[in-house]
């Protein structure tokens, strides 16, 4: 199209077509008129020339005739005079001199005899004869006249003067030749230049001579160069020039007119095309005062409206995208609000939002791109809510004076921004008097709706973020956020070359609180601890709750304050008891500390090491703190290896039980055997139960191990019984985790059923420290065991700091005095008194005592003296494999012997039936 139009310079196809039609209209009629006119004019010219020539020919003929007549009359007169003899010589001479210049008298006869006339007849009348002849080139026309009076006959022959006869001056004929032809075709006379032109005009006229002159008629022929042709040629030239000129003028004018009318069309087309490419800034300027200008104005109005519509849609789409990507009101205000005044054709637009008890107005004005922020203290949305009615609203001073100033307008329109059913904000538009209230509202409504959606999604997002990154109970950062912060802090420390400390905190015996006082108290305690810790930290530190009773602190200010100082402060914050529902809770915590970069480079290892350190702190006593050491890490590696191997050992049943006898101090007889786990691993070698039992407890293998030990011990005991060996009792150690497991009682029942031994032969040993940690639930399980007739022994008694009250309530039949007391009882009187106290207390409470780890005779003697009931220790026997149990009775004699050398027992044991 462009190439087509560019060469015509007319712009459009329509213009070209119009131009061609103009051409046809201008050229065809003018050519037709010119051609036809020319033809008519040319024909009339020719006719006129012909007529003129004919007239001239005729006039010449008549002239010749007249001259002949004059000559013949002269001769006649002369002949008459001669007849009367009046013609003397003088007279003749006079005649000749005056009149005969037209005629030359060649002969004159006077005859007395009548003459015969020319025709031969004798005539008495007058005769006239004209004769012609050519003498050389010159023609000679002569007249012969005869007059007779009956007697005499006078005959005169006169030759007409050529100059006189042929003179054609009277005939105005230019560029013409006049010739007189005789009948035989010969040319008598020619005057004028011969005309050779092919287009010459000719005209003939016959001069009839016979009646008067008795001669053949002359033919007068005129030949004239066609003078009309010259005129016609100039006419043709003129006509051509005029025609071409008028056509050119017509074309020029048509082009001008076409351009004038089609230029706006081209503009419109281009503008429409630009609109098609979404360039809405297109404006038409058509300066003419015709319909095109009106069309242009209509087009501009349409573009403006379309552009606004499009901008509105684009803005809405942008808001939608923002809502989907990052529904943040702040971002929306920054990116979208400035464009609203122009879009909504409002001098100022304000977004009023309720944020934490405060009203904030963001105002954008059409003339300034910056957003102004107003905090409207003490104002509520309900003051503006009335502006959201249908009518215009006058902002009164009471509503928001600042608002009216900010909007520079008192008359406003308000649109509600509702999140759910709650009014969350108001979109205020200052009134544009050129638009109707309804139009302004219609334009702004979708935006208000979008703001509502954005606000709703932002709120939801904040809630989700809160849920995802903050602990619901304490409001502290959760594990996820803690990891993010730690990564950030580590990156910063890496950059600045500073160090940071990580504190792993575990509350001591928190489970007790939960179990004894209930979970709601536990929750309140955790919240209070969180608050106290937070209050003790600096702004750059992060406190997070990892779950349960575990907290962590990222101490970014480690370079300024060593971690242990911070730990002391945190410990001090727990010094005051926490009062919940009237009851006082004393709580303490164990702290494990790692330092970047010394103890680890990355977040994961730092956290793992801090955890390890915390365990170390816990095992070294409650309320303690430990820095991580590399040795701890090796220990952890080892523990992991043990755990891995232990799983295999349990699966492949490579664990064994060893049995250590308990001896009755009365007579040295076997009171029972304690089953102790033994593990010889191919990779780890011999692993002590003091190592693998805690690991099994930690990693959840203890239930399986305990169930196996129960069944194995009972089976071996049953086998001994069946072989006639009565070992009295078999003791199986149970860990705390087992006591909390509902399957434990089932496992016990299963072992009894499968082995078939009486419940009274089975004894379950539980360590005192474990019981002290969590007495209630364990006590219930132990009571159930005792109800089944199974004996319960408190292991390692004396290490668990049980209170007297707790001790008296302990559902146990046996107290096993810990080896640490046995160890010094013979040499140390204090220890001896403690042991004595334990024994007498046990007896008061109706329980029997077993002393563990008896290695020397002195110890044995002391224990016997102090009234202990039974003993167990290397002095009597090491733990033996199951198949060696049959040998035991053989040693009883030696044991009795051993006892007889000691001081006798003070008081007999009161054994439970
Ligand atoms: P425990 O129940 O207090 O077991 C007594 C420990 O003292 C045994 O160590 C035993 O070999 C050792 N022992 C006995 N007489 C003497 C002595 O005269 N001198 C010294 N120095 N030690 C003596 P062992 O077998 O290493 O067991 C350690 C602990 O492992 C046990 O302490 C018990 O708490 C736990 N344990 C062992 N087997 C099992 C089991 O099957 N289940 C559970 N839950 N715990 C077990
Ligand atoms: Ca034990
Ligand atoms: Ca023990």
The secondary structure of 771-827 as a DSSP string is HHHSHHHHHHHHHHHHHTT-EEEEEEETSS---HHHHHH---SEEEE-HHHHHHHTT
Residue 499 scores a pLDDT above 70: yes
In this structure, what is the dihedral angle of CA atoms 581, 585, 590, 593, given to the nearest 10 degrees? 50
Residue 360 scores a pLDDT above 70: yes
Match 């290896």 to its residue by tokens.
Answer: 641
Q: How confident is the model at residue 777 (pLDDT cuts 50, 70, 90)?
A: confident
- Asked if residues 821 and 832 have their Cβ atoms less than 8 Å apart, the reply is no
Structure tokens at 668: 């040295």
Q: Which ligand is nearest to the CA of 738?
A: 1
- Centre a 10 Å sphere on the Cβ of residue 16 and count the other Cβ atoms it contains: 18
Quickly count helices (H) and strands (E) in the chain.
29, 31
H helices within 131-223, ranges in order?
162-166, 210-213
Q: Is 146 or 402 the better-scoring residue by pLDDT? A: 146
**pLDDT, mean of residues 266-277:** 84
Element (H or E) spanning 439, and its range?
Answer: helix 437-469
Match 């009775």 to its residue by tokens.
Answer: 889
Q: Which ligand is nearest to the CA of 871?
A: 1
**pLDDT, mean of residues 409-419:** 83
How far does the centroid of ligand 2 lie from the alpha carbon of residue 76, in Å? 203
Tens digits of per-residue pLDDT, 433-452?
888 888 888 888 888 988 89
How far does the centroid of ligand 3 lie from the alpha carbon of residue 53, in Å? 170
H helices within 386-436, ranges in order?
397-407
Residue nearest to atom 41 of ligand 1 (CA): 677
Residue 2 pLDDT: 40
Share of the chain above pLDDT 90, in %: 31
Residue 912 scores a pLDDT above 50: no
Under 8 Å CB-to-CB from 68, ≥6 apart: which residues?
A: 130, 141, 143, 160, 165, 213
Structure tokens at 171: 């005939």
Residue nearest to atom 20 of ligand 1 (CA): 853
Residue 682 pLDDT: 93
Specify the DSSP class assigned to residue 308.
Answer: H
How far does the centroid of ligand 3 lie from the alpha carbon of residue 658, in Å? 15
**pLDDT, mean of residues 91-115:** 67
Under 8 Å CB-to-CB from 846, ≥6 apart: which residues?
A: 910, 912
Backbone angles phi, psi at 24, to 5 degrees: -60, -45
**pLDDT, mean of residues 259-277:** 82
State the Cα–Cα distance between residues 703 and 735, nearest whole angstrom. 9
Query: Is the pTM above the cut of 0.85?
Result: no
State the Cα–Cα distance between residues 741 and 662, nearest whole angstrom. 29
CA nearest to 665, candidates 459, 484, 911: 911
Strand 670-681 versus strand 730-733 pairing type? parallel
Residue 102 pLDDT: 78
How far does the centroid of ligand 1 lie from the alpha carbon of residue 160, in Å? 192
Alpha carbons within 13 angstroms on the beta-carbon side of residue 578 total 23
Ligand 1 first shell, C-beta below 6 A: 660, 676-677, 688-690, 693, 706, 709, 733-735, 765, 795-796, 852-855, 872-874, 879
State the Cα–Cα distance between residues 206 and 216, nearest whole angstrom. 10
Backbone angles phi, psi at 660, to 5 degrees: -115, 125
Q: Which numbered atom of ligand 1 lies nearest the CA of 854?
A: 18
How far does the centroid of ligand 3 lie from the alpha carbon of residue 140, in Å? 192
Mutate which of 662, 673, 733 for ligand 1 pocket (most atoms within 8 A of beta carbon): 733
- Mean residue pLDDT of the chain comes to 84
- Asked if residues 39 and 45 have their Cβ atoms less than 8 Å apart, the reply is no
CA nearest to 707, candidates 732, 729, 690: 732
Instruction: Mean pLDDT check: name the lowest of 20-34, 51-65, 184-198, 373-387.
Output: 373-387
Angle between helices 775-787 and 743-755 (to 10 degrees): 20
Tens digits of per-residue pLDDT, 811-865?
899 999 999 999 989 889 999 999 999 999 999 989 999 999 999 999 999 999 9
> In the chain, how long is the greatest CA-to-CA distance?
245
Residue nearest to atom 46 of ligand 1 (CA): 733
Partners of 161 in the β-ladder: none
Residue 205 scores a pLDDT above 70: yes
Tens digits of per-residue pLDDT, 80-99?
888 887 766 566 666 665 56
Residue 805 scores a pLDDT above 70: no
Q: Cis link prior to 16 (omega < 30° from 0)?
A: no
In this structure, what is the dihedral angle of CA atoms 691, 697, 700, 704, given to the nearest 10 degrees? 80
Q: Which ligand is nearest to the CA of 692?
A: 1
CA nearest to 557, candidates 549, 575, 569: 569
Residue nearest to atom 37 of ligand 1 (CA): 676
Element (H or E) spanning 760, and its range?
Answer: none
How far does the centroid of ligand 1 lie from the alpha carbon of residue 619, in Å? 19
Q: Give one word for 253, left, alpha or beta, with left for phi > 0 and alpha for psi -120 to 50.
A: alpha
**pLDDT, mean of residues 627-635:** 80
Residue nearest to atom 6 of ligand 1 (CA): 853
Structure tokens at 145: 């006249």
Residue 172 scores a pLDDT above 80: no
Specify the DSSP class assigned to residue 242.
Answer: H
State the Cα–Cα distance between residues 551 and 482, nearest whole angstrom. 10
What secondary structure does DSSP assign to 73-84, as a single string?
A: HHHHHHHHHHHT
Residue 530 pLDDT: 94
How far does the centroid of ligand 1 lie from the alpha carbon of residue 907, in Å? 28
Q: How confident is the model at residue 905 (pLDDT cuts 50, 70, 90)?
A: low
State the Cα–Cα distance between residues 772 and 764, nearest whole angstrom. 17
Residue 3 scores a pLDDT above 60: no
Q: How far is CA 24 from the centre of its chain?
A: 57
How far does the centroid of ligand 2 lie from the alpha carbon of residue 449, in Å? 73
Q: Is 655 or 431 the better-scoring residue by pLDDT? A: 655
Residue 1 pLDDT: 39
Residue nearest to atom 13 of ligand 1 (CA): 853
State the Cα–Cα distance between residues 395 and 408, nearest whole angstrom. 11
CA nearest to 570, candidates 530, 524, 619: 530
Backbone angles phi, psi at 815, to 5 degrees: -110, 125
Under 8 Å CB-to-CB from 160, ≥6 apart: which residues?
A: 67, 68, 71, 102, 103, 104, 141, 142, 143
Mutate which of 689, 735, 871 for ligand 1 pocket (most atoms within 8 A of beta carbon): 689
State the Cα–Cα distance between residues 642 and 683, nearest whole angstrom. 10
Under 8 Å CB-to-CB from 1, ≥6 apart: which residues?
A: 13
Structure tokens at 115: 């003459």
Match 């131009």 to its residue by tokens.
Answer: 19
Residue 120 scores a pLDDT above 70: no
Tens digits of per-residue pLDDT, 472-485?
999 999 999 999 99
Q: Which numbered atom of ligand 1 lies nearest the CA of 676?
A: 38
What secondary structure does DSSP assign to 641-668, as a single string?
A: HHHHHHHHHHHHT-EEEEEEEEEETTTS
Q: Which numbered atom of ligand 1 lies nearest the CA of 855?
A: 18
Residue 108 scores a pLDDT above 50: yes
How far does the centroid of ligand 2 lie from the alpha carbon of residue 872, in Å? 10
Q: How confident is the model at residue 215 (pLDDT cuts 50, 70, 90)?
A: confident
Residue 89 pLDDT: 59
How far does the centroid of ligand 3 lie from the alpha carbon of residue 816, in Å? 7
Structure tokens at 83: 């007849």
Q: Which numbered atom of ligand 1 lies nearest the CA of 874?
A: 18
- Asked if residues 505 and 555 have their Cβ atoms less than 8 Å apart, the reply is no
Q: Which ligand is nearest to the CA of 879?
A: 1
State the Cα–Cα distance between residues 477 and 570, nearest whole angstrom. 18
Under 8 Å CB-to-CB from 109, ≥6 apart: which residues?
A: 153, 154, 155, 156
SS3 419: strand
Residue nearest to atom 15 of ligand 1 (CA): 873
Residue 705 scores a pLDDT above 90: yes
In this structure, what is the dihedral angle of CA atoms 576, 580, 581, 583, given to the nearest 10 degrees? -50
Share of the chain above pLDDT 70, in %: 91
CA nearest to 416, candidates 367, 353, 467, 460: 353
Q: Rounded to whole angstroms, what are the CA distances from 880 to 85, 656, 676?
A: 221, 11, 9
Residue nearest to atom 11 of ligand 1 (CA): 879
- Asked if residues 515 and 777 have their Cβ atoms less than 8 Å apart, the reply is yes
Residue 853 pLDDT: 95
Instruction: Mean pLDDT check: name the lowest of 17-21, 90-94, 187-191, 872-876.
Output: 90-94
- Centre a 10 Å sphere on the Cβ of residue 340 and count the other Cβ atoms it contains: 23
Q: Which ligand is nearest to the CA of 873?
A: 1
How far does the centroid of ligand 2 lie from the alpha carbon of residue 795, in Å? 6
State the Cα–Cα distance between residues 326 and 308, nearest whole angstrom. 26
Q: Rounded to whole angstroms, what are the CA distances from 865 to 855, 896, 899, 910?
A: 16, 16, 11, 16
CA nearest to 78, candidates 147, 9, 3: 147
Residues near ligand 3 ion, CB 5 Å cutoff = 795-796, 852
How far does the centroid of ligand 1 lie from the alpha carbon of residue 676, in Å? 6
């Amino acid at each position: 199209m462009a190439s087509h139009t560019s060469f015509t310079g007319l712009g459009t196809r329509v213009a070209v077509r119009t131009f061609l039609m103009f051409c046809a209209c201008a050229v065809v009629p003018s050519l037709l008129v010119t051609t036809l006119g020319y033809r008519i004019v040319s024909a009339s010219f020719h006719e006129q020339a012909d007529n003129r020539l004919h007239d001239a020919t005729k006039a010449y003929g008549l002239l010749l005739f007249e001259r002949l007549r004059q000559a013949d009359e002269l001769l006649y007169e002369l002949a008459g005079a001669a007849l009367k003899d009046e013609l003397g010589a003088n007279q003749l001479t006079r005649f000749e001199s005056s009149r005969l210049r037209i005629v030359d008298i060649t002969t004159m006869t006077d005859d007395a005899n009548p003459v015969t006339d020319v025709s031969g007849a004798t005539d008495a009348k007058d005769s006239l004869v004209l004769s012609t002849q050519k003498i050389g080139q010159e023609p000679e026309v002569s007249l012969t006249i005869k007059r007779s009076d009956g007697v005499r006959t006078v005959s005169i022959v006169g030759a007409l003067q050529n100059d006189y006869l042929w003179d054609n001056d009277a005939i105005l004929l230019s560029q013409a030749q006049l010739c007189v032809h005789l009948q035989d075709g010969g040319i008598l006379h020619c005057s004028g230049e011969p005309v050779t032109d092919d287009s010459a005009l000719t005209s003939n006229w016959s001069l009839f001579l016979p009646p008067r002159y008795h001669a053949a008629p002359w033919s007068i022929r005129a030949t004239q160069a066609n003078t009309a042709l010259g005129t016609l040629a100039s006419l043709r030239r003129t006509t051509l020039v005029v025609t071409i000129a008028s056509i050119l003028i017509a074309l020029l004018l048509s082009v001008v007119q076409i351009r004038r009318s089609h230029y706006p069309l081209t503009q419109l087309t281009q503008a429409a095309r630009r609109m098609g490419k979404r360039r809405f800034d297109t404006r038409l300027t058509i300066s003419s005062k015709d319909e095109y200008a009106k069309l242009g104005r209509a087009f501009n109005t349409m573009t403006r409206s379309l552009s606004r519509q499009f901008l509105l849609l684009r803005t809405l789409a942008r808001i939608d995208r923002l809502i989907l990507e990052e529904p943040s009101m702040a971002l929306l205000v920054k990116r979208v609000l400035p464009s609203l005044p122009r879009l909504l054709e409002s001098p100022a637009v304000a977004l009023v939002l309720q944020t934490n008890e405060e009203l904030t107005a963001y105002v954008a004005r059409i003339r300034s791109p910056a957003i102004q922020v107003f905090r409207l203290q003490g104002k509520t949305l309900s003051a503006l809510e009335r502006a959201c009615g249908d009518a215009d609203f006058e902002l009164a001073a009471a509503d928001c004076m600042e608002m009216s100033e900010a909007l520079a307008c008192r008359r406003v329109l308000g649109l509600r921004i509702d999140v759910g059913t709650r009014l969350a904000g108001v979109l205020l538009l200052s009134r544009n008097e050129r638009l109707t209230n309804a139009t302004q509202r219609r334009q702004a409504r979708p935006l208000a709706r979008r703001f509502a959606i954005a606000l709703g999604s932002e709120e939801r997002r904040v809630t989700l973020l809160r849920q995802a990154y903050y602990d619901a109970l304490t409001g502290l950062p959760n594990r996820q956020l803690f990891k993010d912060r730690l990564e950030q802090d580590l990156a910063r420390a890496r950059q600045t070359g500073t160090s940071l400390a990580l504190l792993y905190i575990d509350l001591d015996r928190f489970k007790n609180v939960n179990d004894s006082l209930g979970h709601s108290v536990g929750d309140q305690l955790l919240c209070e601890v969180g608050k106290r810790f937070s209050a003790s930290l600096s702004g750059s530190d992060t406190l997070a709750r990892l779950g349960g009773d575990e907290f962590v602190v990222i101490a970014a200010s480690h370079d300024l304050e060593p971690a242990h100082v911070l730990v002391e402060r945190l410990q001090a914050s727990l010094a005051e008891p926490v009062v919940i529902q009237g009851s006082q809770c004393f709580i303490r915590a164990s702290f494990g500390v790692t330092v970047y970069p010394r103890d680890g480079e990355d977040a994961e290892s730092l956290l793992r090491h801090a955890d390890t350190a915390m365990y170390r702190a816990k095992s070294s006593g409650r309320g303690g703190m430990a820095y991580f050491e590399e040795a701890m890490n090796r220990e952890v590696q080892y523990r992991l290896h043990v755990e891995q191997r232990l799983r295999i050992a349990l699966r492949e049943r490579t664990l064994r039980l060893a049995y250590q006898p308990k001896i009755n101090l009365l007579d040295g007889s076997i009171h029972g055997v304690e089953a102790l786990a033994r593990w010889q691993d191919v990779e780890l070698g011999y692993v002590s139960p003091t190592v693998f039992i805690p690991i099994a407890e930690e990693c959840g293998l203890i239930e399986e191990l305990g169930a196996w030990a129960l069944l194995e011990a009972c089976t071996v005991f049953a086998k001994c019984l069946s072989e006639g060996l009565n070992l009295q009792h078999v003791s199986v150690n149970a860990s705390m985790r087992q006591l909390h497991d509902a399957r434990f009682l089932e496992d016990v029942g299963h072992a009894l059923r499968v082995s078939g031994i009486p419940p009274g032969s089975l004894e379950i040993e539980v360590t005192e420290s474990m019981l002290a940690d969590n007495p209630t639930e364990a006590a219930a399980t132990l009571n159930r065991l005792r109800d089944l007739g199974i004996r319960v022994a408190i292991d390692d008694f004396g290490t668990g700091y049980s209170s007297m009250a707790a001790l008296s309530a302990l559902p146990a039949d046996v107290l096993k005095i810990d080896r640490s007391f046995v160890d010094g009882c013979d040499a140390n009187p204090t220890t001896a008194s403690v042991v004595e106290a334990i024994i007498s207390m046990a007896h008061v409470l109706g329980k029997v005592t077993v002393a563990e780890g008896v290695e020397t005779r002195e110890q044995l003697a002391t224990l016997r003296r102090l009234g202990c009931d039974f003993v167990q220790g290397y002095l009597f026997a090491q733990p033996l494999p199951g198949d060696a149990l049959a040998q035991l009775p053989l040693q009883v004699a030696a044991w009795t012997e051993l006892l007889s050398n000691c001081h006798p027992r003070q008081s007999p044991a009161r054994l439970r039936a």
